[in-house]
Structure formats: structure tokens, C-alpha cells
Amino acid sequence: MVLQRARRSAFMDGKQWWGLALACAAGAFAAAAPAQAQVYKCTGSKGETVYAQQPCGAGAKEVTVRAHRAATRTPGETATQAAVFRSTDLSDASIAERNCMNAAQSNIQGAADRRIQTYQRQVAALNQQLGHTDEDALAAATREAGVRAQVASLEQSISAERRSADNSLTTAQQRCSEQRRDREASIERKYAPERAPSDTAIDGLR
């Protein structure tokens, strides 16, 4: 009985060892397998190649960027991959700025245009009242003066709406541009080459 238990124990230990070995091998294979990222490649306004995580133009082409383990990459491959990812992130920052401005344009200008159209319809209705009356000259002149005053007030409201929309759009543009600059600065810090410890030590002695 003792011998049988010993054999079963040895058999189970062997199974556990093989299971552990297979698990380790699978983990090593997964770690060694290259990761992939789908990005879009297109041509910028100056003819340069641009990469983005979303379509960046009518002629955008989807490409696959393989990200191998750092230990298996040469310095040149590492630099090339970093340049692609940096370009992609910068393109995304530019696209985000355009989306920000488009949203502001829709929200601000759209609301202002609707109010202006309402004022313009009121102006048109008031203008139709001018010159069509059976009243005597004095009464007609008095009424038309009142109508013209209402028209002038509405036209002032239209001008005020346009100025307000322009100011709001300017503020939105500044906000969107600032967000892009902050994002670009973060990207540049992210992909900045690491400085050697010796360089840091030399700077400390200066």
C-alpha cells in the first residue's frame, strides 16, 4: 500500500510538473509573440506621410504596425516604431482639435442661427405692414414709426447674436488649440529619447 501511494504521488507530481512546464511555455510564447496595432496611413497637406488611429483623409490606408518585445528589436527598429507611434499620436491630437471646433461650431453657431432666423421672420412680417394702410397720414406715420422702431430693435438683436456667436467661437477655438498644445507637449515628453545617466551627472556638475 505504501509503495502504491508513493507511485501515485510520483505520478501526480509528474503530471503537475508537466502542467507547470506547459503553462510556462505558453506564457513565454505569448510574451514573445509580437503585438499588433492597426493605424491609418495617409498623406499630409505638405506631402508628408502621416499616421493616425482613425481615418485621416479620403485616401487613408489601414496598415498594421507590429510591436515586438524590446529585447528583440534593434535600436533602429525601436526608433522607427517610436516615430510611427509619435506621428500617430500627433495626428490624433490634430483630429481631436478639428472635432472640438466642429462641435463648437455646431453648438454655438447653430443655436445663434436659429435665433437669428426667428428675428428675421419677425422683421419680414413687420416690413409687410409698412405702406399698407387706410389710415390718415398722421395715424399711418405714427404706426409706421412704431413698426420701424421694432424692426430696428430686432436688427440690433441680430447683430448682437452674431457678435456673441463670434466671441464664443473665438473662445472655443482658443480652448481647442490649448488642448491640442497640451496633448502635443505630453506626446513629445512621452517619446523623448531617454538621457544616459552620465549626461544627467554632467548636467549636475555644470
71-85 confidence digits (pLDDT tens)? 567 888 888 888 889
Contact indicator for 154, 119 with CB cutoff of 8 Å: yes
More confident residue, 82 or 14: 82
Q: Which residues contact 57 (CB under 8 A, 6 or more apart)?
A: 42, 43
Handedness of CA 169, 175, 180, 185 (dihedral sign): positive
Q: What is the rounded distance in angstroms from the CA atom of residue 160 to the CA atom of residue 112?
A: 10
Report the pLDDT value the prediction gives residue 66, as an integer from 0 to 100: 56
Contact residues for 14 (Cβ-Cβ < 8 A; gap 6+): none
Average pLDDT over residues 92-117: 93
Q: Could you state, in order of their start, the residue ranges of all structural domains in the chain?
A: 33-67+74-194
